[in-house]
Structure 1
Amino acid sequence: MSDLPRKAVTRTAKLATLPLGFAGRATWGLGKRIGGKSAEIVTRELQQRTADQLFKVLGELKGGAMKFGQALSVFESALPEEIAGPYRAALTKLQEAAPPMPTRTVHAVLVERLGEEWRELFVEFDDKPSAAASIGQVHRAVWHDGRAVAVKVQYPGAGEALLSDLTQLSRFARLLGPLIPGMDIKPLITELRDRVSEELDYALEAEAQRAHAAEFADDPDVVVPEVVHQGEQVLVTEWMEGVPLAEVISGGTREQRDRAGQLLARFLFSGPARTGLLHADPHPGNFRLLPAAAGAGGSGAGIEVGAEGEEGGAGAFRLGVLDFGTVDRLPGGLPDIIGEALRTALAGDAQAVYDRLCEEGFVKGSIDLDPDAVLEYLLPIIEPTAVEEFTFTRSWMREQATRIADPRSPAHQLGKQLNLPPSYLLIHRVTLSTIGVLCQLNATVGLREELESWLPGFLAKPAPDDGAGIEAEV
């Protein structure tokens, strides 16, 4: 395979094959119908061909196109099952793999960033990548001190490619819309474009990963690899074995799915409270399931996906977290209004919920809404927080997506009048994406427990002690 295409005209031409391919396959489908095949069979074949082409084009381009594919993959739970089936396999591939960068290109980057004698830094270096993602690929190696390490090498021209791809994809947003019915694709692409510059900066990524690794160093539930070395286009971290979350989704036991879901929710809400940072790329490729004794550099032995009765039970599993290239900086943790709005909504206090949403800009000053209607809109969405345990399913996710997306629905009409302040864009996307992964896992999760422990404002503040109790005792 050739190097990552960098010229805008080349990449635009490849992206243009997506809408052209849609049209061509529609014509092919009509021909099959005329030839006597049933509509159901033709539709299934058509969707499979579309999924195959989507993976091929986005995977070859990497860059922003690949990032877009990863973003879409966490929303597949919202698709109607007859559409989701053919796309699921192709989109899942985007989470774990992509066509690799040529070895000569990898070596050229290492020479440029680590020096002519770069091989002396390693005892071993595997030229075959272990993973390929949107802006770089990862090679397994052994550092000169004997540690197993992951070497992330950024694709040459990745920055230019990211911005170019996302600009071009925004022009095709209307044609790509049917991939996720009811979702407005263009704002998703715009938001991705606004964030890619941070992901290209390995110094920022190393800083965020070091902060998480230090905070979670002795954590019984979460493992974050240490940063070993950081350069402009090269990032070396400790290697982490484990079962990719995508494999747990496709073949994990009930115990594995529930434990992975619980830890994913715990990491989502505890991370900002403990580090002031929100891991903002929660697609399954960035998580591993580890046995209790494993850590960075440890073995993944002890977890067999689909195997029942692992020694130590569900509590033996830990969640490994990778890729801190995209984070939201929240020095005070998640905003109090999220917890406060959830608490007052669950209490049925429509006016209090509405007032807080107005204060924070979720309802613009020029718009007047019925507080009871707003509460009615919110309650089905926050159902998982109202109970001790909730089972996240694709059917529940599709039900919510349909309710909000249907133009005939009161929820759709009200939702159009709500506003999402820019400072909440990333929090909103991460939350939705995490819920999408929980639905893919079909996990039963005690979400309320995590909110009570980590979400500011979710628990009512105790009334101030005015001393009356002491005086009464005296």
Structure 2
Amino acid sequence: MLPFISSLIRKKEFQDFAGVCRGIYRVMDGVNQPQLLKENLIDESKKQQQMNGIDGQQEKVVQQIQEQNQSIKQGATKLDDNNKDQNEYKRQDIIEQDKQRNVQQSQIPSAPSINKQFTENKVPQTAIGRVYEFGALGVNLATNAMKTMVTQGNVSFRQALVSEENASLLAKGLCKMRGAPLKLAQALSIQEDEVIPKHIRQAFEQARQNADIMPQKQLEKMLKQEFGNQWMNKFKEFDIKPFAAASIGQVHEAITLEGKRVAVKIQYPGVKEAIDSDLNNLKMLMEYTKLFPKTMFLDKLIANTRKELHEECDYTIEAAKQINYRNLFGNQIEFAIPEVITELSTSRILTAEYLYGDTIDFAAEFYPQHLRNEIGRRVMSLTLQELFKFRTMQTDPNPSNFYFDRNSNKLILLDFGAVHEYTKQFIDNYIGVIYAATIQDRKECLSKSVDLGFLTGEESIRMKEAHVDSIICVGEPFRYQGEFDFGEQQMTKKIYELMPVMLKYRMRPPPPEIYSLHRKLSGAYLMNMRLKTKVNCRDIFMNLYEQYIKLQ
């Protein structure tokens, strides 16, 4: 296993965040729930309200002042400044402070509408067809490698095999296959450069973000198969062009007969039936290229991906999990979860309420600091509540699963295909590790790591020290007194210094629960770093820790 922190370490497109919160066990799941960004996110009255710096009860105060000023003009009333109540000055100060904030918010531009261009490619459905695609991909990779060896001279076959040209070829092949191959690519896209060559990892990331879509003929066949030949009669409107696509399916906007705006997630044909054979073929391809070190435990990663995919390809399971999440978080005004439309959902089609807002990337670029801090705080609160309050976690931290609605002031949560439950015993030990990190108790960090199955206890002293150092490092946000500055964090450098030791000397893979859990924790950290937030993580954790201990 790559010990505690290395399973948290993650790197996406942001180079300066490399290695801090990237789990080599992260497997990106499913397809993002629909989000169609509206240019007109705030109605005209709200816009005017924000431009004037007025909000809620403070608007009434300002209106009263304006009425008094109007009375002065009419000669009906005259205000004597010397008799003003001191409270009036205080109210004016509060109004001015909020006015500055509201002016900042009013300067946030409207988010762009989604107009993504997809490559249309028929999904290979039959076993023979998919095996052929794998074979063709392998032959093309080998052919390119031989050409590289001839043209460049002193280059080994493995070096030639992982060339940039082959990386691009591999990405295109995975995008066409979709399903399990693309799913595993999502897991591999966030590995460290020490584990996978940078350009190969970037190719996997490209594949993750650019899945091909079904031709209309295949799409309509799936709709008829699930809803019947008259499937259009179930909707008032249905957009044939999807606005999102990923490893398992693609998402379309529609209007129900009752006039409700919904998102319809439609599974690619054949991907469910091909999970096992696809992963077996992909494993052979990966082993042939000798791309990964043995310490990556590719067998364990594939086994975990296999289990998750079989669950995620049954949308009735995802629908039930989404309904459960609405029950768990329904009374928290900070979050919004789309309502499942059960009468328009099947095992291969999931229809849900259409919620929309600003993306994490949009917020990172345009939101003022206080709003970015609030989003980051909610992400951390959500993650820790999932673990230590409900022991149930949505483990796909893809930023596309999180949107912020400025109108309702809610963080929208999407995609519940990868929801996992954890045993009390596991969480007891895990919260113990986190708490030990907050008080820098190295002995307890090591003991709880053995209890969890991170370590065998027989590792070298050097390995144990590096492992504990990594835990202490990642526990820094929960140890820091006050607001932890994710934008100025130094965890990246510290962890990269520990990586060579942990990659070389680890003796076992992590427990199965860690693959999903650290996928989410890594994403929570990365989103905060992307937003450059300042969050009091210690207070969030300690409040939940105290509640947890009281219930024991």
Name the TM-score class by shorter chain.
Answer: 0.7 to 0.9
Give the aligned partner of residue 317 of structure 2.
204
Residue in 2 that maps onto 1:39: none
Equivalent position amino acid for 2:417 in 1: G
Partner of 2:273: 160
Show the counterpart of 2:475: 382
Say if 1:257 and 1:176 are closer, same or farther in 2 by CA, change over 3 A. Answer: farther
Query: How far off is 1:157 after superposition?
Result: 1.4
Q: Is the 8 A contact 1:177 1:183 kept in 2?
A: no
Q: State the AA in 1 paired with 2:539.
A: E
Matches within 5 A, 1:182-221: 183-221=296-334
- Secondary structure of the residue aligned to 1:379 is helix
Give how far 1:390 is off: 4.1
Structure 1 counterpart of 2:541, from 445, 448, 451: 451
Counterpart position of 2:380: 265
Residue 116 of structure 1 deviates from its aligned partner by 3.3
Q: How many residues are aligned here?
A: 421
Pairing 1:55-454 to 2, within 5 Å after superposition: 55-73=171-189, 75=190, 78-79=192-193, 84=198, 88=202, 91=204, 93-174=206-287, 183-229=296-342, 230-245=345-360, 251=365, 255=369, 258-273=373-388, 275-293=390-408, 316=409, 318-330=410-422, 335-364=427-456, 375-387=468-480, 388=482, 389-391=484-486, 396-397=491-492, 400-401=495-496, 403-404=498-499, 406=500, 409=501, 411-412=502-503, 416-417=506-507, 420-439=510-529, 443-454=533-544
Moved more, 191-200 or 166-175: 166-175
The normalised TM-score by structure 2 is 0.65
> Corresponding residue for 1:311?
none
The CA distance in 2 between the partners of 1:252 and 1:86, in whole Å, is: 32
What TM-score do the two structures reach when normalised by structure 1? Answer: 0.74
Aligned twin of 1:6:
125
Give yes or no for contact 1:391–1:442 (8 Å, CA) kept in 2: yes
Rg larger for = 2
Name the CA distance, whole Å, in 2 between partners of 1:260 and 1:83: 33
Local SS of the residue matching 1:335 = helix
CA 1:223/1:122 → structure 2, altered by over 3 Å: closer, same or farther? same
Using the alignment, how far apart are the partners of 1:281 and 1:210 within structure 2?
Answer: 17
Quote the offset at 1:239 in angstroms.
0.9
Q: Which amino acid in the other structure matches residue 207 of structure 1? A: A
Partner Cα distance (2:366, 2:243) in 1: 22
- SS at 1:160's partner residue? coil
- Structure scoring higher RCO (CA < 8 A, sep ≥ 6) equals 2
| 1:420-441 Cα shifts (integer Å, max 9, x gaps) | 2334442234334544555555
TM-aligned CA distance change 1:268 to 1:321, over 3 Å? same
- In percent, how many aligned pairs have the same letter? 24
**Is the CA contact (8 Å cut-off) linking 2:356 and 2:405 kept in structure 1?**
yes
Give the distance between the partners of 1:220 and 1:373, measured in 2 at CA: 41
What are structure 1's unaligned runs of at least 5 residues? 35-42, 294-315, 465-474
Segments of 5+ residues of structure 2 without an aligned counterpart are 1-119, 154-159
The one-letter code sitting in structure 1 at the alignment partner of 2:479 is A
The answer to whether the 8 Å contact 1:290/1:319 transfers is yes
SS in 2 for 1:140: strand
